[in-house]
Structure 1
Amino acid sequence: MWRERTNKDDKTARALFTEEHKELVAEAGTWMKDTSTSCMVVATLIVTVLFAAAFTVPGGNNDDNGKPVFLGTSLFAIFLIANMIGLFSSSTSVLMFLSFLTSRYAEEDFLYSLPKKLIIGLATLFISITALIVSFTLTLFIILQSKQSFIIIPIGLMAYLPIYSFTVLQFPLLIEMVHSTYGNAIFNLQEASNLLT
């Protein structure tokens, strides 16, 4: 009933909202495209590195049978798991950010569809960065093991600097997107969806 009421210029609330927010929709679309392009480049680099690391395993392969030298160790198993988690999550991140380039950026897409894609893309990118650093650190532990242990600890600690940086710089955006999309926003998502239709 209230949705169909018009003002003195014979415009509904939806028509007035669309007219007043054209520039905001265009700016938001540009921001999302730029953000997704930047994140997609990072995710693609991570996919490339982790894919190569899966075949050039730490310690190399045994010349007799081609199997990895450290195949039976628990550190190598954890390395493989971290590598695969990173590879699959960064691939998912690339696909999520790639979907931004094919989105139509309609007004109603900014309510649920685009934020959901951004949330999934950023979360999987964070997981892939973490897995990349874990794989790197485990490679150091596997190769050096008991030798030169004084080098392993500082390098391992420094390796977690990118995770910390990403968390400080991008995690607030992720939290805000989750809160505004799924949390208690100004109004209920169902009501907002009804208003836009």
Structure 2
Amino acid sequence: MCLYRIYWSLEVLMEKQQMIELFADTHQHLLEDSVKWIKDAATASMLVSTLIATMNFTAAFAIPGDYNQNSRLPIFTGKAKDLPTLYAYSTTALFFCVGTLGTSLSAYLSRFPVKDFYFFLPLKYLVSGSSLFCSAIYTVTTFVQALILATNAEFTIVQGFLVLLPTIIAIISCNFIYVDVMFPVFRYIVDLLFY
């Protein structure tokens, strides 16, 4: 009885291997379309990440208020509590941009074996999208911190409304886009790992 089960298991395994090979042979066009889509998505992600990194890198060196000509220090150096926060937000956004660039480049340069489509490429897509989302959010917070620094946190009600409304809309829209795009991939990876 035990020998029959081993033979049956080997037969099922061989049929499964043949089915995977048959699927790979008959659906070659799907593989080519998937490779093209992944490369296009990685290219777009790298482009957006590079633009966000450029903005944050510029924000780190072109401090709001410029530099004092005599002391060569930033004009807002006296606001010691606000300036490090600006640098922290900008540096965090740069960190996430580098993460996006790394995972997108890794996905773009992949050799695309069929096995990678089940786990590694969706994982790279999820990490790249998540780090791009975080870099966008930290870029918005860098903008708000720069605005607070430049205006000395003195807003009229209308100015505060004009600053907060676009900021809130940007953060909410980023959240909706992130959930819409990344949730199916996240759910797939969780199902793959735990079920």
TM-score bin (small chain) = 0.7 to 0.9
1:187 deviates by 8.9
Structure 1: distance between partners of 2:178 and 2:34: 17
| 1:15 maps to 2:14 | no
Structure 2: distance between partners of 1:55 and 1:112: 40
Larger radius of gyration: 2
Structure 1: distance between partners of 2:127 and 2:109: 16
Structure 2: distance between partners of 1:14 and 1:103: 21
Which residues of 2 match residues 99-114 of structure 1 at below 5 A? 99-114=106-121
Indicate if the aligned counterparts of 1:140 and 1:152 stay in contact, CA closer than 8 A: no
Indicate if the aligned counterparts of 2:39 and 2:107 stay in contact, CA closer than 8 A: yes
Q: Which has the higher helix share?
A: 2
Give secondary structure in 2 for the equivalent of 1:160: helix
Indicate if the aligned counterparts of 1:3 and 1:14 stay in contact, CA closer than 8 A: no
1:143 maps to which residue?
Answer: 150
Indicate if the aligned counterparts of 1:97 and 1:118 stay in contact, CA closer than 8 A: yes
| 1:152 maps to 2:157 | no
Q: Which moved more, 1:140-149 or 1:125-134?
A: 140-149
Which residues of 2 match residues 183-194 of structure 1 at below 5 A? 183-185=190-192
Indicate if the aligned counterparts of 2:38 and 2:108 stay in contact, CA closer than 8 A: no
Q: TM (normalized to structure 1)?
A: 0.82
Give RMSD over aligned pairs.
Answer: 2.2
The one-letter amino acid of 1:164's match is I
1:146 deviates by 4.5
Which residues of 2 match residues 165-180 of structure 1 at below 5 A? 165-180=173-188
Give secondary structure in 1 for the equivalent of 2:14: coil
1:84 deviates by 0.3
Gaps of 5+ in 1: 189-197
Structure 2: distance between partners of 1:46 and 1:102: 22
Among residues 59, 63, 69, which one is paired with 1:57 in the alignment? 63
Gaps of 5+ in 2: 1-9
Indicate if the aligned counterparts of 2:93 and 2:136 stay in contact, CA closer than 8 A: yes
Distance 1:145 1:108, change over 3 A: same
2:15 maps to which residue?
Answer: 5
| 1:87 maps to 2:94 | yes
1:82 deviates by 0.4
Structure 2: distance between partners of 1:112 and 1:154: 44
2:6 maps to which residue?
Answer: none
Q: In the TM superposition, what whole-angstrom CA distance separates every residue of 1:130-166 from its partner, at most 9, and x where no partner exists?
A: 0110011111111112544331332233023333223
Corresponding pairs, count: 183
